[in-house]
Structure 1
Amino acid sequence: MSTQPTPSLSPSAPSPAVPSAPEASPSPLARPFKLSRRFDRTGRLLGDPGMERLAAARVVVFGVGGVGSYAVEGLVRSGIGHLTLVDHDDVCVTNTNRQLHATVKGVGKSKAELMAQRCRDINPDVQVEAVREFYRAESAEQLLPPGRYDFVVDAIDNVKAKLHLLHRCVTMGMPVVSSMGAAGRLDPTAIRVEDLSETHMDPFAKDIRKLLKRKHGVETDRHTGITAVYSIEVRRQPVALRYDDATDGFLCVCPQDNEFHTCDHRTQIDGSAVFVTSAFGMNAAGVVVRRIASAR
């Protein structure tokens, strides 16, 4: 279904559009599930019962960038039937090296809307909603209400927002897979998937564990229920480029003024590579698909 972008929250602005409520359970006379041929190869791995669970599942993806756009790709191509894509940003030319929606024609357009349309092009039967909003404490009730989703994908790169989202998922007992630091890496074979408490050699994951415990009271020394996608590769520091000298350092060229999270708000701009960020996203999608298909 098609939706209009939702406005940002502010003290004087109305609340963002809330994703539509789950549909009522089908009547006993409803037609039995029939797998589309477009998912034939996945079906031969998971079987009809698994594919039926995927088609009925509701998944929300927070952050549709270098990791999140590929997570969405993996989910829609695996037959997830209901997707909500939450991202406040428009495509920037610097996204071209690693984000699925970033093309010459896509620059300046909503990331969430572009990925939603891509989902419809892949599977015309998918129910997908684009929500142009930045997740934060003030928008949490609208964007992640209790009981609406079967799984959460966290591909947010803002630490404060990420901490709040993960704490909310833990509090509500909602399954979540969370991307740790994908930037500054070149080796996709160094990616690992573990409970957050078991992450090693990732400074970002270490910070998330420490801050979740200190700020939100989440016991991260034991099993958390947060599945983390992370890398054991040593993070590489960013390299200065020639055109930085002409602008007295890094120059942000984002197409919009995002008051919540901009390049200028960051202490440094890390390098990133598509073969790493995409692998992070696909690993996240794999966690969701395997868990839902097996009813675990």
Structure 2
Amino acid sequence: MITEEGIFDRTEKLIGKSGLEMLQNSRVILFGVGGVGSFAAEGLIRSGVGFLTIVDKDVIDPTNLNRQIMANVKTIGKKKVNAMARRLIAINPLCIIHPMYECYTPENSGIFHLEDYDYVIDAVDMVTAKIDLAVKCQDSKVPLISSMGTGNKLDPSLFGITDIYETSICPLAKVMRKELRNRGVESLKVLYSREEPVVRENPPGSIAFVPAVAGLLMAGEVVRDLLKAKKIV
């Protein structure tokens, strides 16, 4: 029989019962269930986060097989959020997964109720969505972590997490810095790479281990921030 005690016995040894209970009561929303987002989602659920909304309006195709954790030959053609939700519930049947087959835009941002969450994760590609999420989360005072570019990269050891205004090299981060300054966004926690692009392909080239590491780093940062917010670690 599956119980939370059995699933998270090793986790409780690390963060204590109060830490585990806090994670189980935390609400996280994740935008983008691709190479980065899918690994972030699984990292959160395996860490004990009890409520996760996943947002993406795309279906799995063969080009996703090299880097997206829910992508396999049996899930091709399926909605990413539904395939991801089934995988996560199979890991922890006691968690609550809310899949939303939607694309975040400034125009429909109200349907996501960001203020109801303890943390927001941005793993989308669209710059307009990333900028609007940063503005809305600052206005709502909801913690946000945003992924910068992970494509055309080969060395995951060069990822780091810092404020957007401390970034360099990453072309997406450069665009984001300018646009966020123009909108009065004072800070934004981001994951970015210090690696120069290996190639400059569009759509970008990718390999299994780079977005996976990025997603797990983001999940780890979210979990630690949630624990710190409750003074557990």
Which TM bucket (shorter chain)?
Answer: over 0.9
State the partner residue of 2:198: 236
Q: 1:273, CA displacement in angstroms?
A: 1.4
Is this contact kept in 1: 2:4–2:94, CA < 8 A? no
Is this contact kept in 2: 1:55–1:82, CA < 8 A? yes
State the partner residue of 1:72: 41
Query: Which stretch of the first structure deviates more once superposed, 61-70 or 155-164?
Result: 155-164
The gaps in structure 1 that reach 5 residues or longer are 1-33, 240-267
Match of 2:77 among 73, 83, 108: 108
Distance in 1 (alpha carbons) for counterparts of 2:137 and 2:225: 16
Is this contact kept in 1: 2:135–2:185, CA < 8 A? yes
Is this contact kept in 1: 2:114–2:137, CA < 8 A? no
SS at match of 1:107: coil
SS at match of 1:67: helix
Structure 1 stretches of 4+ moved >4 Å: none
Distance in 2 (alpha carbons) for counterparts of 1:113 and 1:74: 17
Distance in 1 (alpha carbons) for counterparts of 2:157 and 2:128: 29
- Between Structure 1 and Structure 2, the one with more helix by share is 2
The code of the aligned residue for 2:82 comes to E
Q: 1:97, CA displacement in angstroms?
A: 0.5
Q: What is the CA deviation profile of residues 53-99 of structure 1, one whole-angstrom value per residue up to 9, with x for unaligned ones?
A: 10000000000000000000100000000000000000011011000
State the partner residue of 1:120: 89
SS at match of 2:185: coil
The code of the aligned residue for 1:77 comes to R
- 1:194 matches 2:162: yes
**Aligned runs of 1:38-187 on 2, under 5 Å?**
38-143=7-112, 145-187=113-155
Distance in 2 (alpha carbons) for counterparts of 1:170 and 1:159: 17
Q: Percent identity among equivalent residues? A: 43
State the partner residue of 1:281: 215
SS at match of 1:206: helix
RMSD (CA atoms): 1.4
Is this contact kept in 1: 2:56–2:102, CA < 8 A? yes
The code of the aligned residue for 1:140 comes to S
SS at match of 1:46: helix
Distance in 2 (alpha carbons) for counterparts of 1:197 and 1:44: 37
Is this contact kept in 2: 1:51–1:293, CA < 8 A? no
Is this contact kept in 1: 2:57–2:101, CA < 8 A? yes
The code of the aligned residue for 2:32 comes to G
Distance in 2 (alpha carbons) for counterparts of 1:273 and 1:84: 26
Is this contact kept in 2: 1:50–1:294, CA < 8 A? no
The code of the aligned residue for 1:164 comes to D
Q: What is the CA deviation profile of residues 121-145 of structure 1, one whole-angstrom value per residue up to 9, with x for unaligned ones?
A: 00000011100000001210011x2
Distance in 2 (alpha carbons) for counterparts of 1:59 and 1:195: 20
Is this contact kept in 2: 1:96–1:102, CA < 8 A? yes
Distance in 2 (alpha carbons) for counterparts of 1:146 and 1:160: 17
Match of 1:227 among 156, 171, 189: 189
Larger C-alpha radius of gyration, 1 or 2? 1
- 1:294 matches 2:231: no
Distance in 2 (alpha carbons) for counterparts of 1:271 and 1:40: 39
Q: 1:40, CA displacement in angstroms?
A: 1.3
State the partner residue of 1:247: none
